[in-house]
């Protein structure tokens, strides 16, 4: 009887630990966005990134709308332009922490990494090649393999202005179609980051240019 009770207690304890593992570490660690990611997002961003309140509000609204969309057909793509040090890379790191539930500083070193495998960063300069077809193929393979494994990925392309026209065209086709034979990008969030263009954008905003004119010029 005592052995049976001990076995039952051990089994119950093991089941509880397994439950905790799945309930606390299931999302994020398996590459899925956590259900409370949107709720954590604004608080986490405003607590750690300063002087960008308007931009954070706009980005937060767009991301939360995308997360709430149940039957989306395309990924969310946002472009961040600004000089070095303005917070572009810091923003997508904080975004990954909120989406994948890695907001405890003790676990910051796990993201990128085991704590948020859906967080994938590539660089436009990673694909410099004398052969444009090879460059585009490398980028395509990197994106498809990531999203195939983790459909709810946060994909960041830093210095995307360094990508050649062929690679940009291929990337545009991927996000406009929203899927390939191997991967679906419907739930993916893509952040494009570049230093170029910010002075031009700032000048047009200072001159009172509207969104449509800025989009045409850029």
Which pLDDT tens digit goes with each residue over 2-35?
A: 445 444 444 444 443 333 344 445 689 999 999 9
Distance in angstroms (rounded) separating the CA atoms of residues 33 and 63: 12
Predicted confidence at residue 172, as pLDDT, reads 86
How far apart are the C-alpha atoms of 96 and 91, rounded to whole Å? 9
- Of 189, 1, 192, nearest to 81 by C-alpha is 192
Q: Answer whether residue 36 shows pLDDT above 60.
A: yes
Name the band, by pLDDT with cuts 50, 70 and 90, for residue 176.
confident
Query: Residue 192: its pLDDT value, please?
Result: 93
Mean per-residue pLDDT for 172-189? 87
User: 142: closest CA among 211, 158, 76?
Assistant: 158
Cα 207 to Cα 53, 89, 199, 211: the distances in Å are 22, 28, 12, 12
pLDDT tens string 116-171: 999 999 887 665 556 667 777 888 888 999 999 999 999 999 888 888 787 888 88
């Amino acid at each position: 009887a005592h052995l049976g009770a001990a076995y039952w207690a051990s089994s119950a304890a093991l089941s509880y630990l397994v439950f905790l593992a799945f309930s606390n570490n299931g999302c994020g660690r398996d590459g899925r966005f956590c259900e409370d990611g949107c709720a954590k997002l604004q608080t986490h961003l405003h607590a750690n990134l300063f002087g960008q309140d308007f931009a954070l509000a706009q980005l937060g609204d767009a991301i939360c709308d995308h997360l709430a969309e149940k039957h989306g057909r395309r990924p969310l793509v946002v472009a961040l332009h600004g000089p070095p040090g303005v917070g572009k890379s810091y923003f997508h790191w904080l975004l990954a922490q909120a989406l994948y539930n890695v907001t405890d500083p003790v676990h910051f070193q796990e993201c990128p990494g085991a704590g948020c495998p859906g967080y994938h960063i590539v660089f436009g300069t990673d694909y410099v090649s004398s052969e444009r077809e090879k460059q585009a193929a490398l980028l395509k393979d990197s994106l498809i393999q990531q999203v195939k494994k983790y459909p709810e990925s946060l994909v960041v392309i830093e210095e995307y202005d360094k990508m050649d026209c062929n690679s940009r065209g291929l990337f545009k086709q991927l996000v406009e179609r929203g899927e390939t034979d191997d991967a679906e990008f419907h739930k993916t969030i893509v952040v494009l980051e570049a230093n170029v263009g910010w002075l031009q954008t700032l000048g047009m905003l200072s001159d009172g240019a509207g969104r449509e004119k800025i989009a045409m010029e850029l």
